[in-house]
Chains A and B, each alone.
Chain A
Amino acid sequence: MKLFISLINTLILSTTLFAAPTQCEGLYYGNEAPDILNAKLLPKTQELCYSSFALMHSGISRTPLWSAEHLSKEGLRHKTKRSNDFHPDDQLSTDERAELSDYARSGYDRGHLAPAADMGDKQSQHECFTLANMVPQNSENNRGIWSAIEGATRHLTNQKGELYVITGPIFSGSPIKRIGGRVLVPSKLYKAIYDPSSGEGAAYLVSNTPSNDYEVISISQLEQMAGVQLFPKMTPSAKQNTMDLPDPQEYHGGSYNNTTNKDIIHLIEKLLKRMF
């Protein structure tokens, strides 16, 4: 009976929420891009594919609604030196895209969704500096907890071998802030992680404030909050569970290639599990 109910559930889900076709190969889990569930997010959206990430751009907020990456241990091994140019995205019409002048003197950082440190080669490094991959982000948040969450995600990739990661803004409450008369400021930011080796996932969630606080929530909680079905191919039951994610405070300062105490503890845990 249980199986029957879950079959029905899957059928209902797959018929009512058919996944949006994606032009961006190899960046989404099961090659299925997220589905927008909140109809208000839909107008003026445009999918953009780059060599190492894909994003859904909104001409309403003039920010991405998400950026998606398929991270692998091998991909993170190549580190290129970062010397790059922030630039508006030529693939977007001028009335829908953010310009450098929108962020100027705003006090906000141009916060990458797909981070530069994930990018393995010169082309993808350059691409991730497009303003289509940016949101106005509180500078302390960007350089503090957020940078640590990015480091922890790379660390987890090195542990697991590969991860599918979707990073996005949440615009909640009203009124919300706008800079340059054009670009909406997100109230929260999330980084959703799916581990294909175990079928598990979870997400980091932070407020776009100077605080270093963060939460780890389930994919289903996040999908409700974001109004987006993030991993259409993930099972509904796995979405209810919250996978263990590393404590970002341990990975601050970008030293994600070094072996930390956490790595050693993790290794010991693995060995112990195998023994008993």
Chain B
Amino acid sequence: MPTQPFMAYENEIDSLQIDTLSVENRLDRISLYGSLELTKDRQGLEAALKLKRIIDASIDALKRDKNLPDRIEIKVSESVENPF
């Protein structure tokens, strides 16, 4: 089990997989999608701990942010002429 800390909201790089649950680290969000079975066995425990590590890191980062907005702002995409 990887022990390096999950740097929540710090980069646009990290992508990891717990079962078929995908986790992507981004500057404005942590994306979790797919599905995950926390089976009542050692694998289930390992998966639950991995998920906890990500959730804990996310909560810590959110609590640390003194200027947390009510809602994030998305950069509006521009409209350009289709070059093709």
Residues of A that sit less than 8 Å from B by CB: 38, 40-41, 60-61, 81-87, 100-101, 103-110, 129, 139, 143, 147, 171-181, 184-185, 227, 253-255
Give chain B residues whose Cβ lies under 8 Å from the Cβ of A172. Answer: 82
Residues of B that sit less than 8 Å from A by CB: 2, 11-17, 20, 22, 24, 26-28, 31, 33-35, 72-75, 77-84
C-alpha spacing A26/B50, complex, angstroms: 38
Residues A86 and B12 in contact, CB atoms below 8 Å apart: yes
Give chain B residues whose Cβ lies under 8 Å from the Cβ of A179. Answer: 75, 77
Task: Give min CB distance, B83 to chain A, whole Å.
Answer: 5
C-alpha spacing A85/B16, complex, angstroms: 9
Residues A104 and B77 in contact, CB atoms below 8 Å apart: no
Given A177-B77, A177-B78, A179-B75, CB of A129 within 8 Å of CB of B12:
no
Residues A173 and B15 in contact, CB atoms below 8 Å apart: no
Give chain A residues whose Cβ lies under 8 Å from the Cβ of B31. Answer: 109, 139
Residues A82 and B74 in contact, CB atoms below 8 Å apart: no
Residues A176 and B82 in contact, CB atoms below 8 Å apart: yes
Residues A40 and B84 in contact, CB atoms below 8 Å apart: yes
Give chain B residues whose Cβ lies under 8 Å from the Cβ of A87. Answer: 13
- CB contacts between A and B, total, < 8 Å: 94
19 pairs, CB–CB < 8 Å, chain A vs chain B:
A38-B84, A40-B84, A60-B83, A86-B13, A86-B24, A103-B12, A105-B27, A105-B75, A108-B77, A171-B82, A173-B82, A174-B81, A175-B80, A178-B78, A181-B78, A227-B84, A253-B34, A254-B20, A254-B35
Give chain B residues whose Cβ lies under 8 Å from the Cβ of A86. Answer: 12-15, 24
Give chain B residues whose Cβ lies under 8 Å from the Cβ of A177. Answer: 77-80
Which A-chain residue is minimally distant from B72 (CB atoms)? A105
The 10 closest A-B pairs by CB, nearest first: A82-B17, A174-B82, A175-B79, A107-B74, A254-B20, A100-B12, A177-B77, A83-B16, A143-B33, A40-B84
Partner of A101, one of B2, B12, B82: B12
Give chain B residues whose Cβ lies under 8 Å from the Cβ of A253. Answer: 20, 34-35
Residues A83 and B78 in contact, CB atoms below 8 Å apart: no
Given A40-B83, A106-B75, CB of A83 within 8 Å of CB of B12:
no
C-alpha spacing A41/B84, complex, angstroms: 6
Give chain A residues whose Cβ lies under 8 Å from the Cβ of B74. Answer: 105-107
